[in-house]
Amino acid sequence: MKPTTQQKPTSLFLAHAEIPPEVRVSSEPYEMRYLIDGQIRTWTGPAQDIYSPVCLDDGQGPKRYKLGRCALLTEKEALEALDAACRAYADGRGEWPTASVAHRIACLQAFIPRMQAVRSVVVKLLMWEIGKTLPDAEKEFDRTVDYIRATIDALKETDRAASKFAIEQGIIGQVRRSPLGVVLCMGPFNYPLNETYTTLIPALIMGNTLIVKPPKYGTLLHLPLLEAFRDSFPKGVVNMIWGDGKTIITPIIKSGRINVLAFIGTSKVADLLRQQHPIPHRLRCVLGLEAKNPAVILPDADLDMTVRECVLGSLSYNGQRCTALKILFVHRSVADRFLKAFSEAVAKLPAGMPWEPGVQLTPLPEDGKPEWLKSLVDEAIAKGARIINPGGGEIQGTYYAPAVVYPVRSDAQLYHVEQFGPIVPVAPFDDVEEVLDYVAKSNYGAQVSLFGQDPATLGRLIDGLVNQVCRINLNAQCQRGPDTFPFTGRKDSAEGTLSVSDALRAFSIRSLVAAKQSPGNEQIIRDIVTGRRSKFLTTDFIF
Ligand code: G3H
């Protein structure tokens, strides 16, 4: 049978007039704005043009569509944002860090409908800025709102548990979680809203003050939310700035006034940022970094299900997920059958514009990405691999047709580096020890997926992998959700754990009030509590 050729995108180079009216969006009303000290300011200095991965062809050849502009702020504005966040924190004595949990929750609850009011424009910008399909963009938005609600519920629960006194060895104590200080928050381009907010929201609700720098791609979509932040929280609590990282982030870190770095990106940049802090031991880092999640396909795997999960796992959002499957190890005895079924399934994936119904493969937002992916594949080919899906790896402007590359040898870069794009490297194995060694030697330690049925083999693999990665998926692709599950990694993959409740811990520290048990101290505590003299030492709680 002739292998199916990779489906060609139907409409990669539309003329402007062909864009359906319902997906058009203008960022003009929001452009060049930033938020410092409770004021939305409009920048009149240098700007950065923001281009969509979507190329339009109005007769002069395909060109990335210019979506809008954002401010390229300078060190001066960056330090103003830092001053505003420090003033709002006021060494822990500011209005926000000393606010009651009930008040902080009320502010966040007020933020939710304001956020929902701009859903349509944010969803459209997600499609246009990073090429996310319409259903995925909607899911990203709605999942983020759900995350905020779940965070509120988790904090209520934590607070209910903390609203009591413990008595140990004659000491009365009340233990609560308190904020850490000023948080610098930077999310990634692939989940620019969700992953930014899964650190921003817990940091905020725990009483910290924030400087947020949106990612380079997926940046305009944060602008329609500025009013909601300005109106929902005291001034200076959330500051949002745009610009070149070296210009605006370096001086903020070098000031030594940042207490927490929440960063999702590469380990190289995370190390650079951390090293710039003059007192690194005072900087708590919450990091989500690279991954090279392998799938292990055992001889007794249910091939139909495995193919389905591996296609989703390796190519959802063009493989641009930290949880994507980034190398498939297939047992040599089933390699031919698996590869045939897998490449046929890949060939059927519809490619096109992010708003087109059913589309699953879209143009890539990062500058020069298709060319870099090609260089990885070329090197793997020079080392004995080939692209097994006809049409795989073809480049059309910003679109890179998914390439299934086999057999990828251990001396090829593709075997080790995170491609973060639509390449599926496949390597055969004979003994599971080879895969265990791969994971042990890898720089990364996020997740793996195991496909098979035999309890003895699966059990052996689980025990060999569980201390190398942080999530083992049985007969399923890798993924972050449900968001209440811990999301973390070892080695160069992460620092700290995120989940709805873990994130509340990551952005806070336990503080307690303690007193020797005596009638006098008991009376003082009773008077503070009944007279509502403290927002920390209280038995108030929220249902
Ligand atoms: O890129 C990392 C994302 O948090 C992964 O989330 O597994 O739900 O796509 P996901």
Ligand 1 proximity of 195 Cβ (cutoff 6 Å): yes
How far away, in angstroms, is 318 Cα from ligand 1 center? 12
| Residue-level pLDDT at 382 | 98
Residue 361 carries which DSSP code? Answer: B
Query: What phi and psi, each to the nearest 5 degrees, are found at residue 257?
Result: -100, 5
Distance of CA 520 to the CA centre of its chain: 51
Ligand 1 proximity of 479 Cβ (cutoff 6 Å): yes
Ligand 1 proximity of 531 Cβ (cutoff 6 Å): no
Query: How does the average pLDDT of the chain come out, rounded?
Result: 96
CB crowding 435-471: b at 16 or more within 10 Å, else e: bbebbeebebbbbbbbbbeeeebbeebeebbeebbbb
Average pLDDT over residues 63-78: 97
Tell which atom from ligand 1 comes closest to the C-alpha of 288. 2
Whether the pLDDT of residue 3 is over 60: the answer is no
Whether the pLDDT of residue 13 is over 90: the answer is no
Whether the pLDDT of residue 2 is over 60: the answer is no
Residue with CA closest to ligand 1 atom 2: 322
How far away, in angstroms, is 482 Cα from ligand 1 center? 10
- Identify the CATH class of 21-54+62-288: alpha beta
Ligand 1 proximity of 468 Cβ (cutoff 6 Å): no
**CATH assignment, 293-482:** 3.40.309.10
- The distance between the two most distant Cα atoms of the chain, rounded to a whole number of Å, is 89
Q: Which one-letter amino acid corresponds to residue 216?
A: K
| Residue-level pLDDT at 1 | 41
User: Could you give the CA distance from residue 128 to residue 343 in angstroms, rounded to a whole number?
Assistant: 29
Whether the pLDDT of residue 409 is over 60: the answer is yes
Least confident span in 5-9, 57-61, 99-103, 384-388: 5-9
Ligand 1 proximity of 193 Cβ (cutoff 6 Å): no
Q: What is the pLDDT of residues 233-272, one digit of tens each?
A: 999 999 999 999 999 999 999 999 999 999 999 999 999 9
Ligand 1 proximity of 124 Cβ (cutoff 6 Å): no
Query: Closest Cα partner for 298 from 265, 338, 260?
Result: 338
User: Would you kindly state where each structural domain of the chain is located, as residue ranges?
Assistant: 21-54+62-288, 293-482
Q: Residue 351: how many CB atoms within 10 A of its CB?
A: 24
Tell which atom from ligand 1 comes closest to the C-alpha of 481. 8
Tell which atom from ligand 1 comes closest to the C-alpha of 198. 4
Tell which atom from ligand 1 comes closest to the C-alpha of 195. 4
User: Could you give the CA distance from residue 485 to residue 501 in angstroms, rounded to a whole number?
Assistant: 9
Residue with CA closest to ligand 1 atom 8: 480
User: Could you give the CA distance from residue 222 to residue 193 in angstroms, rounded to a whole number?
Assistant: 7
How far away, in angstroms, is 140 Cα from ligand 1 center? 10
How far away, in angstroms, is 478 Cα from ligand 1 center? 9
